[in-house]
Amino acid sequence: MILLLLVFINIVFVPLLLVGVIRKIKALMQNRVGSPVLQAFYDIGKLLRKSETISGTASWVFTLAPRLNLAVVAVAALLVPWSGAAFPASWGSVTNFLLVIYLLGLGKFISMLAAMDTGSAFGGLGASRDALISVLVEPALMIGLGALALGAKSMDLSVIYSTPASHFVAILVGASLIVIALSELSRMPVDDPTTHLELNMVHEAMILENSGRNLALVKLAVALRTCIFFGLAAQTFLHALPQYSELSQLLRYGVGISSLFVVGVLVAVAEGVLVKLNWRRVPNFVAFAIALSSLAALIAVARG
Amino acid sequence: MLTLPGSLSGWYVAALCLWACVTLIGVFRRHSSSPLFPIALGLGSGLLLVTAILGGNRVMTAPAPWFLAVSPFRFSADPLSRWFLGIIGIVGIAAAVFSPSYLHHLRKRVALGFVWSALALLMISMSLVVLSANALVFLVAWELMALSSFALVASDHEKHSVHRAALVYLGATRTGTAFLMTGFLWAHYLTGSWSFSAWHLSGGEALGPALLIFIGLAVKAGCWPFHLWLPIAHPAAPAPVSAVMSGVMIKTAIYAMVRLLVMGHLDCPVLGPVVLILGAISAFWGVLFALLQHDLKRLLAYHSVENIGIILMGLGLSMIGKSLHLPFLAQLGLAAALFHTLNHALFKSLLFLGAGVVDARAHTRDIEQLGGLIHRMPWTAGSFIIGSAAICALPPLNGFASEWLLYKGFFGLAQNGADVGGRLCGLLLMGWLALIGALALACFVKAVGVVFLGLPRSEQAQRAKEGTRSMIIAQVLLAVLCAGLGIAASVVLVPLGSVVAFVQGESSVLAGVWTLPVPMLVVVLVLTLGALALWMLVSSRSKPARRFITWECGFGDLGPRMQYTASSFAQPIARMFRAVNRYAVQVDVQGSGRKHFPDAVSAESEYEPYLQTRVYTPALKLIQDMAGAFLARLQAGSIHQYLAYMMVALGLLLFLGCRS
């Protein structure tokens, strides 16, 4: 019963709240009052009540993509211990990090196809740039999580995030995960999520043609992915502290959620301070994640 | 004739007879397109599949008068051969179902009976390669395979590009066979026997033959740096033939590698890392150059190079595991390689058949002229999307299953490797495989997006229609197999485990290796998706979706030229790797108000395949120059010169004869 309630809160309430908090902090940094913290909920509610307009060029791929993407991301959000609450290790390796990475890849595949489905230049632009970013992010994610897995002697995320990790490895992988999160979620300095200019459209370009109900599903999926990546980074940093693994399940969940919001606030502050990179410099930035992950791998391997 | 110890080898002989009939009839009736050809071919493949699944292990030898020079005709069927026979059978069935309708559209340029004949001969020779038990029979079957596939590549021989492709392919097979023959001769010299099971060499002795045999097989498999013939030859052949060649024929080289280098006793510890490194480079090189292609079949051929690289990484891992005395690693690497062999055969054939339908209906392979085909050929598009998802290793399809095993193998290397370097390599190879997977994802989003989605970029694409029912059936069959093998991976691992155990000669340690609850995951995904779709459907009752045009910023009529092209899609990634492929875009702007009001803008993107322009072309030119300058002088046509040669040769032989 408690588990179901926790799952519901995790999947529905926390992601949209996080998005609202990030927006509020950015607004405060820009000396504005900004929209209320619960604005994301109102947006989703409004979008669900609106009808949608679909391009005549689009096919079943366009309609399937937001649904499949949200389904995949929701299942991944259940598997990844981003809030501190995790599946017990006896559930088989359903939380195997390869499965999670490739599930997210499935969501990405179908959303890139949907972007190209409408025959507009924006979709192709967004999909092609997203492809470039994922080429750099996937190895970093794989090597980073591999380094953590080596320390925990298991490829299951639920086991990795309940065994204490070495400080250096955890901090390096956490930093790498922050860079990965900023790139994957198209946040500054990789892309500006608030504008619709061709200079800096990655995610916004891909979802341009969605409207109404489809757009609500897309926004929910984005909010969930934000939680997954920021939460994973927060958990990795927390695992540098050996005391964290010794806390009780409920306390771990509480600390996990609060650290997720702390990471969100820090990212919002960073977004207010950072300048968006020239697109030609973006690969250099994202490749930092590969460097950090490889360093973490070297340390993890050397520790035996 | 051959001894028949049991009815199952009788079925195999029946398959051989069916195919032999097709071969002979096809040669004599070159232009006939009788329905008996596909039926016989398909039936033969079906019998082969049955033999593979139900056959036992036996050795068949032709009795005394039937000798191949110095060794008997000996064939042996064991678990490894039967795994590959099964692959040949499945792809053969799909090709047989697909071919009649496809070849129908080629009937004016191509001698259909001859194509069927060569295809049957190819199937015969592939099955003989996989079953042969000694080197000479292997070489005979290998050469038959090379010749029949050469005939198939040259089917549409009135086109100049097909001419060139066929000759390049012939040259590549000659080179590969030369290395293979030298390796076999050396092994025979060291061991005194032609039979594969008698070749026990180790250490320094094994290095020479093993290396030569590996190079010969690598040429056939399409491993870097010997892969150049693959993207030239495979697109030139008709689509079902490309499917068979890419799906099965290059896998016979993998079979030989497993039999001789992994299972055989040519113990050569250096070879493991070499195979792994070459596999890793092939995988990266293949997928990078695939991103730059805009010929659909050339793109798929480069992806074959990539997947052969992945299979070789598994084989290399297995050999390294064996030399480190880690049986789990050795078996896991081999299991990943063999599983990927099966999976690649399935999804690559599916993709080539889809490309064949596109080629037959839209009359072009250039993806920059296609688009919007999903509305015109929905079944082909659906199966092509499933094939693309499978080749990008997305769960729950079969590509994910085999790559997961390989990842697990690399993680095992990271945990148990001999030294820090080895263990770090395990982790970095996981990252490398992820990089390759992301590049493959980019490439297939490009291919599917530009070919099937969006607006049609040409008249031909606009008027294309769906393929015939047999074409659809063949593709749907393969797509269902892809999905089925992915979901039921734990079931497939049972026979695979026994094949691997047989190859390694020890009991299987792979019993509990597949721990992912994929069926449950699929059920959860389908239920979630169903719930979401139902919710959306219910809420759309009151406000149905409105169909309107794509957003064009208010500029008005949005034509197909406003879409992203394939070259534009690939540009960011190609530019990022410009150190490898010398990618450059030349933009030329003309007009008086050049910067803001141009008269004409031209943009040209170019890339340079280094290996071809810097290594192979100069090498071939050098050989041609030497032949022209030097060798031509030896054959000057002067009778005095030839008499002098004969005198010198006679003197030399007398001298050598008197010495001993």
Nearest C-alpha of chain B: how many angstroms from A22?
A: 27
Is the pLDDT at B1 greater than 50, yes or no?
A: no
Taking an 8 Å cut-off on Cβ atoms, the answer to whether B438 and A52 are in contact is no
Taking an 8 Å cut-off on Cβ atoms, the answer to whether A71 and B428 are in contact is no
Residue B597 confidence (pLDDT):
80
Q: Which residue type, as a one-letter code, is found at position B53?
A: I
* Token pair for A224: 């969930």
Which residue in B392, B449, B525 is closest to A72 by CB distance? B525
Is the pLDDT at B6 greater than 60, yes or no?
A: no
Residue B63 confidence (pLDDT):
65
Residue B660 confidence (pLDDT):
66
A113 touches chain B (CB under 8 A): yes
CA distance B89 to A57: 40
CA distance B210 to B207: 5
CA distance B76 to A267: 65
Which of A135, A159, A286 to mutate against chain B (most B CBs within 10 Å)? A135
Residues 6+ apart with CB under 8 A from B131: B75, B76, B77, B81, B85
By the 8 A CB rule, do B351 and B297 touch? no
Chain A environment of B420 (Cβ under 8 Å): 301-302
DSSP B324: T
Taking an 8 Å cut-off on Cβ atoms, the answer to whether B547 and A53 are in contact is yes
Question: b/e per residue, B580-607, with b = 16+ CB within 10 A?
Answer: bbebeeeeeeeeeeeeeeeeeeeeebeb
* pLDDT tens by residue, A6-56: 777 778 889 999 999 999 999 999 899 989 999 999 999 999 888 889 998
Q: Chain B neighbours among A 136-155 (CB < 8 Å)?
A: 137-143, 146-147, 149-150, 153, 155
Q: Where are the alpha helices (DSSP H) in B397-517?
A: 398-416, 420-451, 459-462, 469-487, 489-504
CA distance B660 to B658: 6
Residue B457 confidence (pLDDT):
92
Local confidence band at B97 (pLDDT 50, 70, 90 cut-offs):
very high
Closest CA to B405 of A98, A100, A158: A98
Is the pLDDT at A149 greater than 90, yes or no?
A: yes
Residue B514 confidence (pLDDT):
83
DSSP A66-79: HHHHHHHHHHHHHH
By the 8 A CB rule, do A143 and A293 touch? yes
Residue B4 confidence (pLDDT):
43
Closest CA to B59 of B45, B69, B73: B73
User: What share of residues in chain B are helix, strand, coil (percent, to 5)?
Assistant: 70, 5, 20
Which residue in A53, A71, A94 is closest to B529 by CB distance? A71
CA distance A167 to B511: 36
Residues 6+ apart with CB under 8 A from B408: A98, A155, B332, B336, B513
Chain A: residue whose CA lies nearest to B442: A131
Closest CA to B182 of B230, B226, B150, B217: B217
Local confidence band at B398 (pLDDT 50, 70, 90 cut-offs):
very high
CA angle B290, B294, B297 (to 5 degrees): 70
CA distance B637 to B335: 59
Question: b/e per residue, B358-389, with b = 16+ CB within 10 A?
Answer: bbbbbebbebebbbbbbebbebbbbbbbbbbb
Q: Is B299 helix (H, G, I), strand (E, B) or coil?
A: helix
* Token pair for A36: 């209320």
Query: End-to-end CA distance of chain B, in Å?
Result: 44
Which residue in this structure is represented by tokens 């023959």? B181
Least confident of B95-104, B207-216, B611-620, B646-655: B611-620
ipTM score of complex: 0.95
B553: left (phi over 0), alpha (psi -120 to 50) or beta: left
Is the pLDDT at A304 greater than 90, yes or no?
A: no
* pLDDT tens by residue, B34-63: 888 888 889 889 988 888 888 777 777 776
Residues for chain B: how many in total? 660
> What is the mean pLDDT of the segment spanning B201-220?
89
CA distance A200 to A152: 39
Q: What is the crossing angle of helices A282-302 and A167-184, to 10°?
A: 160
Is the pLDDT at B219 greater than 90, yes or no?
A: yes
Residue B2 confidence (pLDDT):
44
Number of C-alpha atoms within 13 angstroms, CB side, residue B620?
10
Q: Find the farthest-apart pair of alpha carbons in chain A and give their distance in angstroms, rounded.
A: 58
Whole-prediction pTM: 0.93
CA distance B483 to A104: 18
What's the Cα-to-Cα distance from A176 to each of A139, A232, A271, B148, B616, rounded to whole Å? Answer: 11, 11, 17, 53, 41
* pLDDT tens by residue, A218-264: 999 999 999 999 999 999 999 888 888 777 878 888 898 999 999 99
* pLDDT tens by residue, B131-174: 988 888 999 999 999 999 999 999 888 888 899 999 999 999 99
Q: Which residue type, as a one-letter code, is found at position B465?
A: K
Phi, psi of A253 (to 5 degrees): -65, -45
Residue B7 confidence (pLDDT):
58
Percent of chain B with pLDDT over 90: 54
Local confidence band at B65 (pLDDT 50, 70, 90 cut-offs):
low
Least confident of A47-51, B262-266, B556-560, B624-628: B262-266
